[in-house]
Structure 1
């Protein structure tokens, strides 16, 4: 049965919304994000969903991915994080290889802080929102509606966007050859490419003295680093690390 809404069938209305979204350059973004998410799920990831100002969206995204409403599709591990301090909750939940997806405005301070920490945690980040865009590089994937209306998050366009993300992720699963990423081979005891890379790290424990080392969390796990060049550090500080030493601070502590 087709339900009529404002003179159109629901199918027609949805198609109109989809065309409006995808006409604004989101098609490629959705495809790229879906492939990245499918690859993470294929490798055993859990998805963590946050929406500090619009909590129902976080629950809705988690339900979509965990509930295989299409016969034969996989149930994917997804959890909504709804604590008052969502960064602290994510810190103890997210593991290397996981996925963090946020539905929020570009000026949401908690999500801005969360997104910049996903690099140190080794998580894939996706940010869905509308209006003014986040700064470049704020997340691995930014899926945005260019609509300044503050009520935009309450419209069907947001829901449709993450429905498409969910469905396209399952489409990727139908092509197993896409699910493995090419990884550069490292030869010898030290990989020249990897050893020359600055990495983001989050401080877990500060150094216990002027000659001590700080315990930090990176995308590959915990390690000890020298913080002489940046001075005293505190837990939750973000640092740029290279060759076992902190080279610079990244932003402020949170």
Structure 2
């Protein structure tokens, strides 16, 4: 897609493919009962705009999709409270926005997919489930309408997916076919967990939140932890603490 004078390519081939993949994944999440939570600490109007688009059917008679903008001063805390397994968090922000970076790191522990819309230097690989990015250093990009174009296309393509019910069946989750109580492949996987509550008795371990819910884990290996710390959990024990500067596994 280009402007009328064909001097600027607004949506290139790579971004088109990213938009299509994000729309399909989002449609599948909505079909399964997800809510879309939208944050944009730098540009609050974008958060409101995205939420408004999704709660309005793309054409009369089509479904409204649950979407809420989160615009309080601490969007990380808001997302933590609001997000449930299966939801999606969408952020419109630059790659260096600290609150959005923190949300993206924690979302896997909340069981949420993430979509990150922005421009300029890109987030690192795996920083979000889907990255929709304008590769331009122009600081005016967020105000030119290109972000609006991206999330309008995301909204419309999501509705297009609903026109093809066969697409809405998500691929089987890894390990879904495991019939035994303990699967060698699944048991080798470390899971991201966010510390919820630290007990005064170390023997009790700590309460953590993972994509499948809350559970208690042993922290003998990692030592003292605090609420909000991110851990990798394996076999009921925390095996490492994730540094705030590290990317998290997805």
TM-score relative to the length of structure 1: 0.91
Q: Which residue does the alignment assign to 1:194?
A: 186
2:2–2:11 CA contact under 8 A, matched in 1: no
Cα distance in structure 2, aligned partners of 1:43 and 1:219: 15
Q: Which residue does the alignment assign to 2:170?
A: 181
2:40–2:91 CA contact under 8 A, matched in 1: yes
How far apart are 1:188 and its partner, in Å?
1.8
Cα distance in structure 2, aligned partners of 1:14 and 1:41: 34
1:11-57 CA-partner distances (Å, limit 9, x unpaired): 9847959x713225101100110011000000000000000010000
Q: Which residue does the alignment assign to 2:112?
A: 123
Match of 1:161 among 150, 153, 166: 150
2:3–2:10 CA contact under 8 A, matched in 1: no
Distance 1:206 1:194, change over 3 A: same
Distance 1:230 1:73, change over 3 A: same
DSSP-derived class of the 2:222 partner: coil
Q: Which residue does the alignment assign to 2:216?
A: 224
1:238–1:249 CA contact under 8 A, matched in 2: yes
2:38–2:67 CA contact under 8 A, matched in 1: yes
1:48–1:99 CA contact under 8 A, matched in 2: yes
With 74-83 and 199-208 compared, the bigger mean Cα shift is at 199-208
1:116-162 CA-partner distances (Å, limit 9, x unpaired): 00000000100000001111111000000011111110011110000
- Runs of 5+ consecutive residues of structure 2 not aligned to the other structure: 246-250
How far apart are 1:172 and its partner, in Å?
0.8
Residues paired across the two proteins, number: 242
Q: Which residue does the alignment assign to 2:238?
A: 246
Cα distance in structure 2, aligned partners of 1:27 and 1:36: 14
1:43-192 pair list within 5 angstroms: 43-183=32-172, 184-192=176-184
Match of 2:203 among 197, 211, 214: 211
2:58–2:156 CA contact under 8 A, matched in 1: no
Q: Which residue does the alignment assign to 1:36?
A: 25
Supply the RMSD in Å over aligned alpha carbons: 1.9
2:76–2:102 CA contact under 8 A, matched in 1: yes
TM-score relative to the length of structure 2: 0.92
How far apart are 1:77 and its partner, in Å?
0.2
Q: Which runs of 4+ in 1 moved over 3 A?
A: 11-17
Q: Which has the larger radius of gyration?
A: 1
